[in-house]
Structure formats: C-alpha cells, structure tokens
Structure 1
Amino acid sequence: MARIAHLSSAHPRFDTRIFVKQCRSLASHGHEVALVVADGLGEARCDGIRIVDVGRPSGRRERMLRTTGRVCRAALALDADVYQLHDPELIPVGLRLALAGRRVVFDAHEDVPSQLLDKPYLSPRSARVVSRAYAALERLALRRFDGVLAATPLIRERLAAFNPLTVDINNFPRAEEFTQAPDKAADAGVRNSFCYVGSISAIRGVRELVAACALLRTPARLALAGGFAETELETQVRRLPGWNRVDALGHLDRSGVAGVMERAFAGLVTLLPTASYREALPVKMFEYMAAGIPVIASDFPLWREIVEGSRCGLCVDPHDPAAIAAAIDHLASHPGLAREMGANGRRAVLEHYNWECEADKLIAFYADLLAPRPTRRRFSGKGAFPARSMGSTD
C-alpha cells in the first residue's frame, strides 16, 4: 500500500471528485491518503483521510503567486509515495516534485486549452495566446509526470499522446447516494418542481432557464440549487420575469442535493455550447439519472447520444427559452412518460454510468503506477505522514 497525497489550491476540501470519490476510494483500498487544500478551514481528519490546510488566499492573484508555493511546501513535508495534482496552476509544483524524484499524477478535470478560449475576462486574442501557452506547458509537464487521469474520454485521447499511462476516470455518481427507486420516479400529480443543481453562471444557461420559467403553461417551479458565479449576474437574473417561478436554495450539501432531486419531476442541464461543454460529461446529468428523474439537456451530439440512447430525457436548444419551457411542460403533463424516462436513466447508471466502475479503474491505475520499476532519484527531505495522522479522529 502507498502514501498518496492529493493537492489542490482551488477546490474545497470535500469536493465530490477529489474527496468524496477518489480519496475515499483509495483509502478504502488500504492506501494512506492525505489531501492538501487552501480553504482556510484548518486541519482535520475525516474518513481516515488527513486534511492539510495551507490557508485561504485573498484572491486569484494570491492563489496563483503564493498559495501554490505553500501547497508545494506542504506536499514535500508529507513525503508521500505519489502526488496527485488537481489544478492546472499546480503543474509547476508537479514539475518540482518530479525533479525531486517523486511520482506525480495530473488529474485533468477539464479540457483547459478549450476552456480558456471561453473565459469572459480574456479578449479573444488574449484567450488564444493563453490557451496556446498553457497547452505548451501541459505537453512539457505531462511527458515528465508518471501518469494522467482524465475526466472524460475525449480529454484522455488528447493527453494520451503525451503520457502512455493515461486513463479516463469519469465523474459518474455514486449510486448509493441516490436511493430513489425507479418506480417512485417523477409523478407530476405529486411533484410540482423541476431542478437545476450546480454552479450558476451565464455560460451555464441561467438566463435562458429563468426566461423559460416565464413561458411555462403548467404551474411548475424551478428549484435552483447552487451559488451564482457573480453578484452582478444574480442581480440581473432576479429581475427577469420568470424569477417569480424560482425557489433559490443556495449551496446545498450532498444530502440536500439528493433531497432536491427526490422532490423534482425533472432535472435540467442546459449549458450553452462552448468548446469545453460540447464534449463534457456533466456530473449533474448522471446524478439526475441516478435519482430516477428524466433529464432535459442541451442538444449536443455527445449528450444526445447518452440521453436518447438511454431513453432518459429530452434534448433542447439551450439558447431557446421557448424550447426549454416546452420540454418542462411536456414532462409535467405526462407523468407516465416521466416515470418511464426516470426508470431508464436509473437503470443506465446502475449498469454503466456509476462511480463504482470508475473506482475499479482508479485502483487499477494506481496498481500499475506503483508496480516495481527502476530506482529513481528520491528527494531526501523529512516529514513523513505522522503515525497517527491517517487514522480515526482523536
């Protein structure tokens, strides 16, 4: 068994992909796992995982310039067998660790070069320059790292050219989190809400979604769970005519998310067609399926293949509030169809789109990574995991 340190300067400590899925899965298979974060909540131990906090930065600039250095120092102090990086800004940290003879894994949550092209704070010209620069750094680094995890098959295909040990670990849901049985799925006669769960931003289609609420013919209401990316955007959206049909729930924990889905007759994931979203596998879509409710999704070819292939929902033009409203009304008015689609989605998750299958791939990846190999130069620093740091709470 190995000592594995997960490093993040941007994600919260209980991030679903990092802590809930990967850290817990690795710990349950006997590995000693630590997680370095920068959220300002202090050190802790949870589920046998040691959480090391390097302090919350005051803004993006401090996070990029100083927090990454603190993460690096904390990582070296842990003296782990493997370091898994979760943020693009930590690539220089990974290079330093690799030069010190450490095993380093990069977890590509997003297709960053494509994502950068859609950043609203970059001009089109600047976005192209930054995207190319990041892609060059990525190529350089991944050739020197020991392995790569990718959040989608498309990202895996792109990154496998730089590192032969590249595996896709998809963000599929943990089926046990969503215990709703298919035969109890959406019934418009009982349920009067549809939901959106996740980060709320313009690029994720919140304006179009709220505008669709104003066009509904049924009395359905939107349960909006998550935080707005920008205060100004929230102010603008609250002024839209459809806002009187919205129940804003704010950030929810995992049980709260499951509760919202249990009370909904459909779940929406109508993200706008950016280069990064067209080929993404949004975890919320699969969580709706796991909860046994039909999906209303953007009509992207990949998403249409999943939704129509599983017969678990409807695909719409995310730019068209009228089309979104028509899909909501259709499911609200046809509870039998909603039940059937919800059952189909639940079945697809249980058979294929679930974290349990991905966890097996993760464990196999680490077994391959940790297989005996020629001796490499090791960093001589001290600071191993404290003997009591990886167990239960004091």
Structure 2
Amino acid sequence: MRSSKKVVHLTSVHHPYDPRIYHKECLSLHEAGYDVTLIAQEAPEGQKETPIKHIPINSYSSKLKRMIQGSWEVYRIAKKEKADVYHFHDPELMMIAWLLKNKRNTVVYDIHEDFVTSLIKKDYLKKSIKRLIKISFRTIEGFFTKNFKKVLAEKYYSEIYPEGHWVLNYPTVNEQFLQHDRSNQPIEKKLLYTGNVDVQRGAHIHPEIPNIHQEVEVHFIGKCPSRYANEMKEIAGDHQDRIHITGIDRFVEKEDIEQAYLSRNWLAGIALFPPTEHYLKKELTKFFEYMNAGLPIICSNFDRWKEFIDQYQCGIAVDPYDETAIHDAIEYLIQNPNEARQMGLNGKKAVQEQLNWQTQANRLIELYDEWTT
C-alpha cells in the first residue's frame, strides 16, 4: 500500500518552506498518501504547524562547514528514518545520498538548476579552470548518482540528463488569484519583481527603470542581500525613492509573496535579466507566477523567452539593455490598460489549463508509485 511508504526529503541549502520542496512536492506526496518527512534547516522565523514532519538541522555561516558537517548531520538523521524513498535537492548531498542507497530503497536526485553553468558563470575564472570544473563535477556526479532516479525542474535539463523525468516548476493555481478581478480597478504605475535578487536576475538592470521612466515605481518582494540592495539604490540615484525592497537579508515566504500580488493592481511583473547560458535556455518559473496572478510580463527578449511570450500572448519582450525599448514597453501598458489586462488574462488562462503544478504533481506521484511498487 502507498500509505505505508515512507519518504524523506533532504536539503541542507534550501529554506524548509521552499516553494518547490515543501509547498509542491512534500504536500502533494502527503495528500497522495505517502508518509513524508523533511530534513532541512530550522526556519529563522520559527517552526509552524504543518502536516509534514520536519526534522531541523543546524545552520552554518560557513559554506564549507555546511557542506561537510551539515551533510554528515543530514546523513545521520536520514539513516535512522529507514525510508523507502530518499529524495534530495542539493548536489552537495549526492555523496551522503549514495551512502543511503541500498537494494531496498529508491534515491531521487531533484535537479533544480543547471549547477555547473551556475558554478562556472564567474567572469574571473579562466576558461581552462571552468572546463576543469565542468569535467570534474560531471565525473563525480556521474559516479555517485548512477543508480539514482532523477527528476528535472526544467525541460532543457534533458540535454544533460537524458534519463531524467520532467517534474516542472509550474505554480499551484491560487484560488484567491482566480477570484481577483483586475478589470474593476485602475492599473497602478507600479512594477513587481518577486523572488531572489542577484546580478544574474537583473539586480543591476531593474533599478535603472526609475531613471528610464519617470512615473513608475519598482517593488521587489524576495530575498535580497543587503549589498545588492545598496547597489540598487545607488543605481537608481536621485530616483531611489521609487525603489522598494521587501526581504533584505531574509527569506520571504510563499504566502507573503502571494499576498503581495493581491495587494495592488500592478502594471506588470518584470524579468529583465542579462543574458547568461542558464537563462537563455530556461523557461523562467517567475513567468508562471506572474501569469498565475494575472499580470502581464515585461522580460528580456531571449529567443526562448520571446517565443514563450508570443505563444501565450502574455507580455512584452525587450532588449534588457535598450532603455528606449524598456520605456516604450512600460508606456504601452500604461496607455493601453485593456490590452495590459488581456495579456494578464491570457497568462492566467494558460496556467489554469496547462502550466499548473497539479499536472506535475500527477507526474511525480505516478513516478513514485512506479518506483515504490
């Protein structure tokens, strides 16, 4: 029986209430009848009542200590659980996951990002060093994960892991969003960015917007290191009063981000990222979240992104370094509120009918049922 199967999710890096790990995968498996435990760091804001058993581990200020001591702590706790399935989310845990693997259990490697591309994107690394890092990591990864099942958060990861199974990071359809009617209130001249803030995610581009368009504000809701917050204010210069950041040096929970979507009648969700190997290929999770909330999107015009925006008619794609194009996209939405609302409705419809987590939850549960039979 499925209900007797014990599943343990492992992470030493992610927040215990991470949207993919906790809100999507753990809760979906729990609702399907699996006995689910999560081993993760303790939430800085404290534990909350949940249907998922959470075993907290220590937090480490040093990345090296986390990788060594934290991984060993995860292993000691996980081994005692004697799970039918161990599902881990961080490459640094692959060695302890290998130690947990035996003939009677299943180990699942959940690949959230193209880790190698992320690792070698530092400009200061020489090409020869980047090549060595890539070859070394792939060799180590191939050895330790050979007998693991793999689930992939992005379609293009199949190029790297052809044996992997897609469980895409689509959003959970939000009932409040379904009931939220943007048509009966004026659209505000406010742009929204949600999620983690860093340079690869536009931290040096988005704060230029108040300089580019004199009427709009830009609101950031998500974890933002203080050094980036300071840099963003500097970039905005005399217009920094139109930059608003919620989440400086702290995790912002999914529920708080969802409430932010409902708090105003936003003009658009933004994702003006610089071109990097990872994002040029990726279907951005942020797109699905903006679409879920009924917001049009203003994003970089990477081929894959523009193709997505055109397919669903849900926004405007522009050159992230073309100030005139950015200004004109913002101005178009301001001057054409009906078209802006229609873009939002098109995106919401696509999420409700196709691009939603329930389709992926069904895939995950089918995989688990197959792997634990």
TM-score scaled by structure 2?
A: 0.91
Alpha-carbon distance in 1 for matches of 2:41, 2:76:
13
**Which residue matches 2:21?**
18
Question: Is residue 131 of structure 2 the alignment partner of residue 131 of structure 1?
Answer: no
Q: Is the 8 A contact 1:224 1:249 kept in 2?
A: yes
Q: Do the aligned partners of residues 358 and 55 (structure 1) sit closer, same or farther apart at CA in structure 2, a change above 3 Å counting? A: same
- Compare relative contact order (CA 8 Å, sep 6+) and give the higher one, 1 or 2: 1
**Which residue matches 2:118?**
115
Question: Is residue 220 of structure 2 the alignment partner of residue 224 of structure 1?
Answer: yes
**Which residue matches 1:37?**
40
Q: Which amino acid aligns with 1:171?
A: N
Question: Is residue 191 of structure 2 the alignment partner of residue 191 of structure 1?
Answer: no
Query: Identical aligned pairs, as a percentage?
Result: 28
Q: Deviations over 1:274-323 (max 9, x none)?
A: 11111222221111001011011121222212211000001111233443
Q: Do the aligned partners of residues 129 and 71 (structure 1) sit closer, same or farther apart at CA in structure 2, a change above 3 Å counting? A: same
Q: Is the 8 A contact 1:44 1:50 kept in 2?
A: no
Question: Is residue 143 of structure 2 the alignment partner of residue 104 of structure 1?
Answer: no
Return the match for 2:325 from 323, 326, 347. Answer: 323
**Which residue matches 1:361?**
363
Give the drift of 1:69: 0.7
Question: Is residue 8 of structure 2 the alignment partner of residue 5 of structure 1?
Answer: yes
Q: Secondary structure at the match of 2:245?
A: strand
Say which is worse superposed, 199-208 or 349-358, in terms of deviation.
199-208
Give the drift of 1:186: 9.3
**Which residue matches 1:260?**
260
**Which residue matches 1:239?**
234
**Which residue matches 1:377?**
none
Alpha-carbon distance in 2 for matches of 1:42, 1:79:
29
Q: Secondary structure at the match of 2:212?
A: coil
Q: Deviations over 1:153-174 (max 9, x none)?
A: 11134212xx4xx211111111
What are the ranges of 5 or more consecutive residues in structure 2 without an aligned counterpart?
A: none
CA RMSD, 1 decimal: 2.2
Q: Which amino acid aligns with 1:12?
A: H
**Which residue matches 2:70?**
67
Q: Do the aligned partners of residues 123 and 185 (structure 1) sit closer, same or farther apart at CA in structure 2, a change above 3 Å counting? A: farther
TM-score scaled by structure 1?
A: 0.86
Q: Is the 8 A contact 2:170 2:355 kept in 1?
A: yes
Give the drift of 1:205: 1.0
Give the drift of 1:180: 4.3
Q: Secondary structure at the match of 1:179?
A: helix
Give the drift of 1:207: 1.5
Say which is worse superposed, 350-359 or 312-321, in terms of deviation.
312-321
Q: Deviations over 1:208-260 (max 9, x none)?
A: 1111221104x22111112224x333222211224222122225332321232
Q: Deviations over 1:12-39 (max 9, x none)?
A: 1000000000000000011000000124
Q: Do the aligned partners of residues 121 and 150 (structure 1) sit closer, same or farther apart at CA in structure 2, a change above 3 Å counting? A: farther
Q: Secondary structure at the match of 1:21?
A: helix
Give the drift of 1:151: 0.4
Q: Which amino acid aligns with 2:173?
A: A
Q: Is the 8 A contact 2:222 2:257 kept in 1?
A: no
Alpha-carbon distance in 2 for matches of 1:265, 1:132:
45
Q: Which amino acid aligns with 1:307?
A: I
Q: Secondary structure at the match of 2:241?
A: helix
Alpha-carbon distance in 2 for matches of 1:221, 1:43:
32
Q: Do the aligned partners of residues 206 and 323 (structure 1) sit closer, same or farther apart at CA in structure 2, a change above 3 Å counting? A: farther
Q: Is the 8 A contact 2:7 2:83 kept in 1?
A: yes
